[in-house]
Each structure stands twice: as structure tokens, then as C-alpha cells.
A = this chain, B = another copy of it.
């Protein structure tokens, strides 16, 4: 198996000022071509640390990719350090110099002395051209593994990876096949779901691996299979996923890595249906999730966030009697809210949510975390009670996802 290690260089990553998105992106790209990333290491802009980390990584992996420390300022020392580590010296590269002069000219600037140094590179490496910036990439081949050094600026690094590094690695390491499949579920927590599918999981082939990736209200399952024959492996993966589907059909909302709102949006759009929401405790979260999808205006007309009782009465036409007899967090109330939004916004469907997000507001009969959800359809209203936890933010997220999931089930007649 071809393995790789990613080394991210930069003090800003170690004080938490910048989140290391480069490493995850590179890991994903390598994974897609069958190269397994076994470690990601973040280190300081410090010569000894860089030398140690890279020497050790090259001894243990065929591929080492480092990012960062290639800028023109004093804190960037990767290039000098690599020259020393690989027993080389920095020499002026005219191709890079000319490219950098051009970049500066296009911004009406002249190259400073500091920037001229960007064209100096170790004599014994191959250059990876940077079409968007002044820091060239470097490729060192050794008897052990190779080191690919790239700039830390995400969009420069990405273009260099996509256009230069990945095609070359693909060519160099004809690989084994790795297939990842993501199964999106909602409605059951990690431990319960794992119990329901335990016999399936235990009987997975040895070259298969299952990972549970929880988010509030959502549980992603990732099935990874490693093999040699792509077609055979793919068939086997499909078989296993079919088995899984028959065990938890109502919990799976998608077979690709997408949010529940994207999944619902696709169904609505394909059926040319419209939707509105009437929200109390979720405060607009459901609407906001739908609106995050480009093109959502095709299906989404609007929302009423009726946060107090007065707004529920005046805007959504919830009756005083319902509020008085059953309260705002009740089946009766969410049903009237759903009808109210559906009528006002003239949509085919509507979702209504009312609950106690907490931390206060709970009573003996209605605990914090109690949430009523209703979905109005052109013919009918479906309503359901949920009991979440005591964390306000999580309750808002879980209620929103449960509401979208209820709508999804209604739409595919799974309820």
C-alpha cells in the first residue's frame, strides 16, 4: 500500500489562528487516487523541527507533502531548510524570476529585492510551477520517499496539486482500488443504530471498514472497501449497501454526502412542489438551511418566525383557544401553525415547529427539549412529538433536522 504523510508548516496553525483546511483537502485528494494518508503533522516554522519531521516522514512513507513556509518574509524558512536537508544550495531560477516579474507587472508593481529571492530554489529539486503566486513548488526524490513542498496559500496549493502533483502521482503509483461510500441517516443515535446493524457490521468482508460520523441530528456512515479489481469491489460494495438499506430503510435519507435540506430540496424540485415554514423555537433555522441551497427560490417561498404567542395568533391565525387550552408547545398549535403558513405563503407543503429550546421554560409536564413538529400536505397534516436534550443550540439544530426529515418521509410516502 502506498502511504503518504502530510506536514503543515506554520506557527499560525499552532496558536489556533488558522484552521488547517489544506491538510484535509490534500488528504481527500490523495485518498481519491488510492494513496492512504497515515498521518497529518503540524509543526512550527523552525528549521530543526522541519528537518526532523521530513526526514522521519520520508523514511516511513513513499510520499510526503509539505505546505507552508515558502513566502518572502523572514519567518518563512522552509526553502533554505530543505536545501540544507537535501545537501543542496539555492540557485537563481530564471524561469521563475521571469514569471514573477510578469505577475508584478500585471499589478503595476516592480519586483522588490525580497521578492527576487522567491526565484531562488535548491539546485537538486524539480520545480512545480506556481501560476498564481511567486512561491514555486519543489519536488525532491530520494532513495526512500519523495518530498513535495507546496505553498500554504490554499488556492495556489490547490491548483498546483490538481494540475501538477496529482496527475504525476497517479502515473507513478499504479494503485490498488479504494472505494468510499457515504450513507446519510437521521432519526437514531450512534449507539442505537450500531446495535440495529451490528450483525451486518460484524459480517462485513475483512477488506471493508465502517465508520460512524455523528453531527447533531445526523449520523453519517462511511463504508470503505480496499481491493484490486475495481468492478468486483464496486459490486461487493453495492451488495453490502443493499443489505444495509433493507435493515434501516426509514433512517437513510441519502447515499451521498449531502445535507438533509439538499435531499429534501431535490425531491421538492423534481416534483415541482413549494414549501414554507412556520417556526417558533427554531427561530428561522429551517428556512435558513433551505436558503443556503443555491436555487432554493424555486421551491421555497418564505417563513413566518412566530416567536411569541401574539405573533402566532396574528400572523399564523393560531386560535386563542388552542393557545389557552393546550399551550404554544402542543400538537394542536403546530397543526394550526402549519396550516397558517401554508395558506399565507400559498405553498403545497409547510413545516411547523414549536418547542422548548431551553435552558429555561420547561415545566413538569413539558420538559426542556420537548418539540412538536407538523407537516401540512395538500391533503393532510402529520404531526409528531420529539424529546431532545437540554442544550439550547443542539435542540434548535435537532428540531430543524427532525422537521426536515419528517417532511422528507411525508414526501416519499414513507410515513
Chain A residues in the interface with B (C-beta under 8 A): 11-21, 23-29, 31, 36-44, 49, 71-75, 103, 106-109, 112-115, 132, 134, 153, 155, 180, 182, 190-192, 194-195, 201, 209-214, 222, 224, 257, 277, 279, 281-288, 290-292, 294-297, 300-308, 310-311, 314-315, 344-346, 357-360, 367, 369, 387-394, 396
Contacts and interface: CB of A to CB of B under 8 A. Distances in A.
Contacts of A288: 282-285, 288, 396
A302 B315 contact: yes
A16 B26 contact: yes
Contact of A14 (B38, B281, B292): B38
Nearest to A290: B283
B24 A112 contact: no
A323 to B, nearest CB: 15
B393 A292 contact: yes
A283 B284 CA distance: 8
Taking each of A113, A296, A300, A307, which has the highest tally of chain B beta carbons within 10 Å of its own beta carbon? A307
B302 A305 contact: yes
Contact of A345 (B113, B300, B315, B391): B315
Contacts of A294: 358-360, 392
A-side binding surface: helix, strand, loop or mixed? mixed
A15 B40 contact: no
A291 B297 contact: no
B222 A394 contact: no
Given A12-B211, A72-B194, A305-B305, 20 more contacts: A14-B36, A15-B211, A16-B27, A17-B211, A18-B213, A19-B21, A39-B43, A40-B41, A41-B41, A71-B214, A75-B211, A103-B389, A283-B296, A285-B291, A288-B288, A291-B396, A294-B358, A302-B304, A302-B307, A302-B315
A20 B17 contact: no
B40 A13 contact: yes
B71 A190 contact: yes
Given A15-B31, A394-B155, A389 B292 contact: no
A27 B17 CA distance: 9
B31 A24 contact: no
Given A75-B209, A288-B284, A310 B301 contact: yes
A263 to B, nearest CB: 18
A191 B75 CA distance: 12
B72 A346 contact: no
Contact of A284 (B13, B224, B284, B306): B284
A15 to B, nearest CB: 5
